[in-house]
Amino acid sequence: MNIVLTGSLGNIGKPLTKELVEKGHSVTVISSSPERQKEIESFGAKAAIGTIEDAGFLSATFKGADIVYLMETLDAAGGFFDPEVDFIDAISRIGRNYKQAVEQSGVKRVVHLSSIGAHMSEGNGILVFHYNVETILKQLPDDVSIKFMRPVGFYTNTFALIRNIKAQGTIISNYGGDKKEPWVSPLDIAAVVAEEMETPFAGRTIRYIASDEVSPNEIAAALGEAIGMPGLKWEVIPDAKLLGSWLAAGMNAQVANGFVEMQASQGSGVLYEDYYRHQPVLGKVKVKDFAKDFAAAFSAAESI
C-alpha cells in the first residue's frame, strides 16, 4: 500500500516507518526538516519536506495515498515557555488542515494518533486538543474510514522528570500513590498502528494502546533502581503549589494550567474511565524495560 505518515522520524515515526517498509509498503514521511531527508531515505521511505500548517502541501502529499497517518503534538505549536502561543487554537488549525487535505486528496482511510482523554470535552486539561481534533476529523464525509488510536501516558514523558530528580532527588507532581495507571511505549504504539493499517477499515473505530499498568510509586521505584537511586520518591504537592512553580519558571500559562488539570484527572481516575471500559491487551514493553532507556537518558543529561 501507499502510506503517508506525518510526525517525521520521532519516537513513534521511526519504528513505524521501518516496520511498514519491511512489510513491503511504499511509505512517504512528512517532515518539516530538510536535514531529515537522508535519514528518511535510509529507511527506504520517501521524504516529503514541508509543514503540516500548509494545507495545500498536505493535500498534494496525500494525493494517491491508500492510508494517511495523522498526528499532532504540543511541540508542533511552539515552545512551552512562549507566553504568546495559544496551543489549543494552533493544534485545532492543524486538525482543520488535515480535514481539508483528506477531502481534497480523496483519501478514504485515515489512522489518527489521538490520546487517552480524547473522549472528554472538559476536565482533561491540555489533552482537550485531542478531543478537538477528533471532533474535526469526525466531520469528514461518511465514506472516509477513520481509526482513532488512543495511547495512554508515554513512558518517554518521564524524561521531563530528570532535571528535577537531579536537582532535588525526588519526583514532584500533584498526584501519586499506589493506584495503578496505564503507561505505554512508543514502540508498542508503532506496532499497533502498523497492525491497524493492515486490518480492514470500516466506519469510525477507537483503540486504546497501553504497555503496562503501574502506580506512580512503582514508577519511582523502577526508575530509581535503574539510575542508582533506590530510595527515589514520588512526592505529591497541591495543585496550586505545582502550578505556581511552573508559572514562576516562565511556563506558558495555558500549558501549565492544562498539565495540572490533566494530572489531577489522572489522580482522580476520571481520565481513565473510558480506557477501562475498553481496556486493551497490554503491549510488550514493560516499565522495567523502559527503565534502562531512562537510565541512559539520565546519565547523558547534564547535572544541575
Task: Note the pLDDT of residue 73.
Answer: 84
Tell me the whole-structure pTM to 2 decimals.
Answer: 0.96
Residues 6+ apart with CB under 8 A from 42: none
Task: Note the pLDDT of residue 303.
Answer: 60
Share the mean pLDDT of the chain: 96
Task: Note the pLDDT of residue 302.
Answer: 72
pLDDT for residue 75 is more than 90: no
Q: What is the pLDDT of residues 142-190, one digit of tens each?
A: 999 999 999 999 999 999 999 999 999 999 999 999 999 999 999 999 9
Measured CA to CA, the distance from residue 265 to residue 218 in angstroms comes to: 19
pLDDT for residue 118 is more than 90: yes
pLDDT for residue 219 is more than 60: yes
Q: What is the mean pLDDT of residues 124-130?
A: 97
Task: Note the pLDDT of residue 74.
Answer: 82
Q: What is the pLDDT of residues 1-53, one digit of tens each?
A: 999 999 999 999 999 999 999 999 999 999 999 999 999 999 999 999 999 99
pLDDT for residue 80 is more than 90: no
Domains of the chain: 2-156+183-210 (3.40.50.720)
Q: What is the pLDDT of residues 90-115, one digit of tens each?
A: 999 999 999 999 999 999 999 999 99
Task: Note the pLDDT of residue 76.
Answer: 67
Instruction: Assign 79 a pLDDT band (cuts: 50, 70, 90).
Output: confident
